[in-house]
């Protein structure tokens, strides 16, 4: 007797081919994948040839600031820097209850839309470490249905004020999964370089992953990605390292960018682009032509580097919109990065699924295969291209072997006399 049986799936497999099969689940794991499985289950779902995919992965979001747009004021300039200032005001009155309630509401919103793996930054440049404490508690509270990784992210810089270096180390003691940073926002280039070295030192000391907000600026002289690459090469930690945003990479001249790309290929660094946010935050000091302000996603992908797409913000000082829908993210990403070829569109789907799982170092438990944890979603689509094009509805979300969410189709009636 299975716990759950999914009949007539169009299963998106790890090799990205589609198989018409049934999927059987028991004890939280996938136990059989085959056409016409015999046997019964406590719950059988007729999938009717819809697409069954591994869940979406949100590789980059700030849950501590989610759902605060307009508090205490709206971002008028639309820049990263005004966002940081507004958040500095808002974070003066954080409480555990405030952060936890917004984070959980956001995670629920994400789960409804098929996201079951999330990496969130928590601002740790605030002396009470309330945001971090709250997200660590949330990580525990949601763990039966959502996997949450927490990054100790020093929004105001590790060397921006004297206590920040102590706070980031304390955050790792408290249990943050990932060490963060923001070298382009340190007071000087020297401090920025020093911060990257410090991040690697902390990651090694505490055995944690690394995810750095890196070169999130249109300043073509912001060159901390090369420092990250050098550290990754020297430490051989590349696969455990992520460079987020790297928007300046889109502003470097080709002579430098092509050299850098060669160095990056010697690492296994992961990249995260946040197209919804950076298409709006960047380019604000340009008149025309106006830059897109997104990193070189297509070129990194063509070089077989691991790139994922993140949402970054949902209704916060940096971005007042968003629902957490990763197909919106992929849709925006393919437009901004001009990834309109069919293989490129499929790649954009991978950037919100498999590639994100790789960034989070979760590949061994991700994907729909016998023996793996039963995490999967059912989309009203035929394939990856169709899912992105129509930003398909997620009808079922199955987390750790249990049905977590069911969403009914909205029904449109075409009038008989037309």
The residue within the footprint of ligand 17E, chosen from 318, 354, 366, 396 (CB under 6 A), is: 318
Looking up tokens 């100790």, which residue turns up?
152
The residue within the footprint of ligand 17E, chosen from 23, 80, 94, 203 (CB under 6 A), is: 80
On whether the CB atoms of residues 216 and 184 are closer than 8 A, the answer is yes
- Per CB under 6 A, the segment of 8-16, 99-107, 287-295, 310-318 that binds ligand 17E is 310-318
Least Å from the CB of residue 318 to ligand 17E: 4
What Å distances lie between residue 324 and 110, 236, 272, CA to CA? Answer: 5, 34, 16
Nearer to ligand 17E, 250 or 367 (CB): 250
Binding mask 50-79 for ligand 17E (x = CB under 6 A): ------------x-----------------
Residue number with the shortest CB distance to Fe ion? 312
Active site residues: 216
On whether the CB atoms of residues 167 and 129 are closer than 8 A, the answer is yes
Nearer to ligand 17E, 318 or 331 (CB): 318
Both tokens of 121, joined, read 């930054």
Q: How far is Cα 156 from Cα 92, in angstroms, rounded to an integer?
A: 14
Q: How far is Cα 164 from Cα 136, in angstroms, rounded to an integer?
A: 19
Please tell me whether residue 312 binds ligand 17E under the rule CB under 6 A. yes
Residues 6+ apart with CB under 8 A from 406: 395, 396, 397
The residue within the footprint of ligand 17E, chosen from 313, 334, 374, 381 (CB under 6 A), is: 313
Q: How far is Cα 43 from Cα 367, in angstroms, rounded to an integer?
A: 22
Q: Which does 182 bind (CB under 5 to 8 A by kind): ligand 17E, Fe ion, none?
A: ligand 17E
What Rg, from alpha-carbon coordinates, does the chain have? 21
Binding mask 245-284 for ligand 17E (x = CB under 6 A): --------------------------------x-------
Q: How far is Cα 27 from Cα 33, in angstroms, rounded to an integer?
A: 15
Residue number with the shortest CB distance to ligand 17E? 318
Binding mask 136-165 for ligand 17E (x = CB under 6 A): -------------------x----------
Question: What are phi and psi for residue 299, nearest 5 degrees?
Answer: -70, -40
Binding mask 171-190 for ligand 17E (x = CB under 6 A): -----------x--------
- Taking residue 96's Cβ as centre, other Cβ atoms within 10 Å add up to 14
- Per CB under 6 A, the segment of 23-31, 286-294, 311-319, 408-416 that binds ligand 17E is 311-319
- Tell me the HSE value of 182 on the side-chain side, using a 13 A CA sphere: 26
Binding mask 270-309 for Fe ion (x = CB under 5 A): ----------------------------------------
The residue within the footprint of ligand 17E, chosen from 198, 213, 292, 311 (CB under 6 A), is: 213
The residue within the footprint of ligand 17E, chosen from 58, 64, 169, 216 (CB under 6 A), is: 216
- Taking residue 256's Cβ as centre, other Cβ atoms within 10 Å add up to 13
Please, which residues bridge with residue 210 across strands?
Answer: 179, 241
First to last CA, the chain: 49
- Strands 2-12 vs 18-26: parallel, antiparallel or unpaired: antiparallel
Q: Which of residues 310-339 bind Fe ion (CB under 5 A)?
A: 312
The residues that touch Fe ion, with contacts defined as CB under 5 A, are 312
The residues that touch ligand 17E, with contacts defined as CB under 6 A, are 62, 80, 155, 182, 213, 216, 277, 312-313, 318
């Amino acid at each position: 007797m299975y716990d759950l049986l999914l009949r007539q799936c169009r299963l998106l497999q790890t090799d990205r081919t589609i198989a018409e099969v049934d999927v059987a689940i028991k004890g939280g794991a996938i136990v059989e994948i085959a056409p016409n499985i015999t046997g019964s289950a406590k719950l059988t779902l007729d999938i009717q040839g819809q697409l069954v995919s591994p869940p979406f992965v949100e590789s980059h979001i700030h849950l501590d600031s989610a759902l605060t747009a307009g508090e205490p004021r709206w971002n008028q300039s639309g820049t990263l820097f005004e966002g940081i200032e507004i958040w500095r005001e808002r974070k003066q009155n954080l409480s555990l209850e405030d952060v936890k309630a917004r984070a959980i509401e956001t995670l629920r919103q994400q789960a409804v839309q098929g996201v079951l793996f999330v990496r969130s930054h928590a601002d740790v440049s605030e002396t009470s470490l309330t945001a971090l404490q709250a997200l660590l508690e949330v990580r525990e509270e949601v763990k039966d249905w959502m996997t949450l990784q927490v990054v100790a992210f020093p929004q105001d810089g590790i060397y921006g004020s004297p206590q920040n270096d102590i706070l980031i180390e304390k955050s790792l003691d408290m249990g943050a999964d990932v060490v963060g940073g923001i070298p382009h926002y340190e007071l000087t280039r020297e401090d920025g370089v020093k911060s990257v070295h410090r991040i690697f030192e902390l990651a090694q000391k505490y055995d944690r992953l690394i995810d750095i907000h890196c070169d999130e600026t249109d300043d073509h002289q912001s060159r901390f990605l090369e420092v990250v690459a050098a550290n990754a090469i020297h430490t051989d930690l590349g696969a455990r390292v992520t460079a987020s945003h790297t928007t300046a990479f889109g502003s470097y001249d080709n002579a430098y960018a092509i050299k850098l790309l060669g160095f990056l290929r010697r690492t296994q660094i992961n990249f995260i682009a946040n197209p919804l946010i950076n298409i709006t935050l960047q380019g604000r000091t340009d008149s025309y032509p106006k830059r897109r302000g997104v990193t070189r996603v297509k070129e990194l992908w063509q070089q077989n580097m691991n790139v994922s797409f993140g949402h970054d913000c949902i209704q916060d000082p940096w971005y007042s919109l968003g629902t957490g829908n990763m197909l919106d993210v992929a849709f925006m990403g393919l437009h901004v990065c001009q990834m309109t070829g069919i293989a490129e569109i499929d790649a954009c789907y991978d950037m919100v699924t498999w590639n994100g799982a790789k960034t989070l170092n979760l590949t061994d438990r991700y994907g729909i295969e016998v023996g793996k944890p039963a995490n999967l979603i059912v989309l009203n689509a035929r394939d990856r291209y169709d899912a992105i094009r129509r930003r398909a509805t997620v009808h079922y979300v199955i987390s750790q072997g249990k049905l977590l969410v069911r969403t009914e189709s909205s029904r449109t009636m075409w009038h008989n006399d037309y």
